[in-house]
């Protein structure tokens, strides 16, 4: 597996593994033994970058990742997140954001225990909290870095100006946001800002929450607990209209002897050398397929053709429910 650098010092595999879907969001959690085997299988195939968060589960995902990666301590990079309020009794999200410094530090201590590590490699603010100045957030993480509990600071779904303000207090190593052929919003302000400041970019949902794999159409039925049921872009009408994008990816896949998923990931990898996508999966054969994208070479001619075709496709539907969109800076 090839490697890439986030920020000035953090080297990780060119493709990471998003672990959220193993315990939440995309339907019922898979068996713990299967998830552990999948995560360890990723390590064996060269993946060194793993993404989790306290709210995935909640808590269950961090515990899973911690157990699965315990044998590889010091050989992998684990990213987790803070920023939401969780009910102390039920451990469920109350819906509120919380990035108060004292809360950030309490979350760090709890995450370290669940992950079975001495320091969090990348600690992201999960969503920007408008009630707490970003300077205070960055200052709290800076304290944690000075204490040796955190190695790198990250932001998720933050706007360009927020990134600048945070970076002035504590250098930001990585910004995580949704980015794919299905959602290219970061190209407007975020990517130029990160390039200027020397910050890495970690796209989540690089396969459009599965849509760009070509395995989903307007007739696909999701489990009742799957978050995509509430996403406007996944309404049957929007899926039907957006199949033109899937057709484009399929055409390029045929041309390159690859799969649609590999083309979608390869396209991201060609955008900038400091972009590290984190596709999620619950199946080993899909993991292997995704990792194969690192070997797919898209030429300038391929990229120009994709851009030309994309200019004629109008993607329909918001990428997130309205309430979730309000929590983003994009």
Residues with a known catalytic role: 56
Per the CB < 8 A criterion, the answer to whether 253 and 245 are in contact is no
**132-143 as b/e: b if 16+ CB within 10 A:** bebeebbbbbeb
CA neighbor of 101 nearest in space, from 143, 144, 151, 140: 140
Per the CB < 8 A criterion, the answer to whether 14 and 2 are in contact is yes
CA neighbor of 107 nearest in space, from 132, 178, 115, 73: 115
Q: In whole angstroms, how large is the CA radius of gyration of the chain?
A: 19
Q: Residues 204, 77, 87, 142: is their CA dihedral positive or negative? A: negative
CA distance 48 to 71: 13
Tokens of 2: 């090839």
Residue spans of alpha helices (H) in 198-235: none
Tokens of 178: 């949704």
Tokens of 330: 């994009």
Q: Residues 127, 131, 135, 141: is their CA dihedral positive or negative? A: negative
Residue 164: CB partners within 8 Å, gap ≥ 6? Answer: 193, 197
**29-48 as b/e: b if 16+ CB within 10 A:** bbeeeebbebbeebbeeebb
71 burial type by CB count under 10 A (0-12 exposed, 13-18 middle, 19+ buried): exposed
Tokens of 236: 């049957």
């Amino acid at each position: 597996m090839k490697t890439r650098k986030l920020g000035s010092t953090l080297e990780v595999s060119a493709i990471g593994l998003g672990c959220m879907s193993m315990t939440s969001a995309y339907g019922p959690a898979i068996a713990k033994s299967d998830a552990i085997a999948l995560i360890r299988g990723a390590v064996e195939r060269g993946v060194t970058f793993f993404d989790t968060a306290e709210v995935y589960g909640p808590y269950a995902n961090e515990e899973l990742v911690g157990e699965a990666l315990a044998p590889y301590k010091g050989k992998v990079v684990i990213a987790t997140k803070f920023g939401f309020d969780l009910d102390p009794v039920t451990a469920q999200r109350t819906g509120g954001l919380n990035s108060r410094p004292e809360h950030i530090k309490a979350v760090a201590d709890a995450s370290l225990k669940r992950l079975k590590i001495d320091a969090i490699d990348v600690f992201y603010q999960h969503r920007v909290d408008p009630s707490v100045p970003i300077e205070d957030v960055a200052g709290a993480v800076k304290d944690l870095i000075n204490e040796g509990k955190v190695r790198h600071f990250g932001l998720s779904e933050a706007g360009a100006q927020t990134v600048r303000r945070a970076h002035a207090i504590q250098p930001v190593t990585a910004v995580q946001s949704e980015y794919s052929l299905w959602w290219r919003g970061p190209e407007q302000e975020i990517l130029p800002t990160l390039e200027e400041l020397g910050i890495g970019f970690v796209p989540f949902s690089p396969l459009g929450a599965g849509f760009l794999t070509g395995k989903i159409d307007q007739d696909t039925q999701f489990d009742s607990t799957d978050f995509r049921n509430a996403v406007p872009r996944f309404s049957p009408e929007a899926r039907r209209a957006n199949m033109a994008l899937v057709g484009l990816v399929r055409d390029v896949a045929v041309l390159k002897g690859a799969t649609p998923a590999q083309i979608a990931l390869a396209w991201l990898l060609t955008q900038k050398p400091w972009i590290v996508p984190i596709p999620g999966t619950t199946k080993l054969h899909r993991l292997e397929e995704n990792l194969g994208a690192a070997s797919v070479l898209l030429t300038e001619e391929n990229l120009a053709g994709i851009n030309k075709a994309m200019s004629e496709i109008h993607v329909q539907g918001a990428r997130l429910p309205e309430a979730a969109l309000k929590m983003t800076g994009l």
